[in-house]
A and B are shown apart, each in its own frame.
Chain A
Amino acid sequence: MTALLEPTRNADSQEFWDAMQQEKLLLQECGDCGALDFMPRHMCPVCWSPNRKWREASGEGTVHSFSIVRRASSPAFASRVPYVVVLIDLAEGPRMPSALVGDDALSVTIGDPVRMTFEARGEEKLAVFELAK
């Protein structure tokens, strides 16, 4: 069986993934215009300022949309079907892609509140979400 993907660090995302191993989700805040953003990069996509600050997210959010995947995207996910992929609107504003886990995950609807948890990938951790009761 093909292994599930583990975090891949690069010059943009080293701190993002390092923090995730400490069970922290980092967002980037622009030091000039204040825009908050999910996808790590060394400049602000709104004002092009190079002044970046890491800010820890609360891990709370709501489901913006989801799909229950019945046919796996790759052999590595075949044993997981059906599984739930989601776009989460984080409480801080930015949207992030993730998976919804837990026994009740298949009952998800748009707008459901969720909270972050972590799943092991090899020696590493990956942020996923579960429905908040």
Chain B
Amino acid sequence: MPEGTLRNSVAIVGVGESDIGKVPGMTGLGLNAQAAMRALEETGLKPSDIDGLLTAYSFTEPYFMLGSVMCEYLGIKPRFNASVIVGGGSPAVMLKHAAEAIAMGQAETVLICAGENRATGTSRDEAVAALLAVGHPYYEQPYGFSIPAFYAMIAQRYMHKYGLSREDLAHVPAVTRANALLHPNAHMKKPITPEDVLASKPIADPLHMLDCCLISDAGGAMIVTSPERAKDLKGQPIYLHGIGEHHTHEHLMCAPSLTEFGAKESSRIAYDMAGLGPQDMDFAELYDCFSIVPVLEFEELGLGKEGEGIAHWTSGAANVGGALPINTHGGMLSHAHAGAAGGLFGIVEAVRQLRGGLGARQVEGAEVGIVHNEGGILSSHCTLILGREPR
């Protein structure tokens, strides 16, 4: 095994989701805490056993040192704490930082949590105004770019390069919704068809409302520890096989390309570390802030050929029960999206799939799964591979 590897450095021993949807009785911090309590419950550990905490950011609550604020709220006094801000890429990156700290003996048990009360904690206009800050304040914002417009330009370029049709793209939200209907805690509960996607309100051509992720109240959490420590705990541990990051820009105007992004390199690092390849994956949980994004990631992760990814959704291969199910929980398009919690739920779902026993949602015989998080406008990438057994 190469020096400096994080393969088998940690196991995820507990995962939790807060209540999801419109949860008016909870603050953003409260949602994080609820998810953390549920994750901890799975492990049998006590709050005082947590000696590290990582969290991300919040657009709805005015805390500056969010990691310290989270520790304060939870009443824990860790030796390792930070707020990690690489947008939607944060949860996977936090897992990597936790693995690094645990591998170096700088922490033993790390709580990773993220979430916001985006649906009820702020008005919709305020949420959109806050998200506008993702555009460059001096060179992009004066022109009226919105986050959907940035991703729409990427979709437009992909369609131009590969001849993808607007109609084909509409299958992604529909398939994702079908998967979400199998999840008891998903924000969205009603089936949709590709026709519904095309008929939904146009936002930024070619993207319609149902091509865009949700605005939810939601928090997610996971407890990470060493494989040795994991043996003594209550929950079934799921092992980290490989993880890699790649960061290429922040603002789309500075992106090296509109059709090639950092997921290819982040996944290469993760595959190399794991000693596995795309053909070994039993399912994939891909960041899906907009319908075009999982298609791009599917290709960059080597799960399908460049320019042909959409066929994976139109053919049914992405459904639970398909050849390689994608976003088995319903992703950010249908399960939940609340800041960095969106990507964290992909990791939570991967852990649950690998533990098994999910009934109709279960990917049969799932032993190894891949998760991809991205932040900004396909700017910051992190790919991770998890498995049932250490390898």
A interface list, Cβ under 8 A from B: 4-8, 10, 13, 38-39, 64-77, 80, 83, 85-87, 95-99, 110, 121, 126, 128
Contacts and interface: CB of A to CB of B under 8 A. Distances in A.
A6 B142 contact: yes
A15 to B, nearest CB: 14
A8 B202 contact: no
Contact of A97 (B140, B148, B160, B203): B140
Given A4-B142, A97-B143, A126-B143, 19 more contacts: A8-B137, A38-B139, A38-B253, A39-B253, A64-B157, A67-B204, A67-B206, A68-B205, A71-B146, A71-B202, A71-B203, A72-B144, A73-B149, A74-B144, A85-B144, A85-B145, A86-B153, A99-B143, A121-B142
B69 interface: no
Interface residues of B, number: 35
A63 to B, nearest CB: 10
B146 A69 contact: yes
Contacts of A7: 138, 142
Contact of B145 (A4, A38, A71, A73): A73
A35 B253 CA distance: 16
Interface in B146-202: 146, 148-149, 152-154, 156-157, 160, 201-202
A126 B140 CA distance: 11
B149 to A, nearest CB: 4
Nearest to B144: A77
5 contacts: A70-B205, A71-B201, A73-B128, A85-B153, A126-B143
A69 B202 CA distance: 8
A27 B357 CA distance: 59
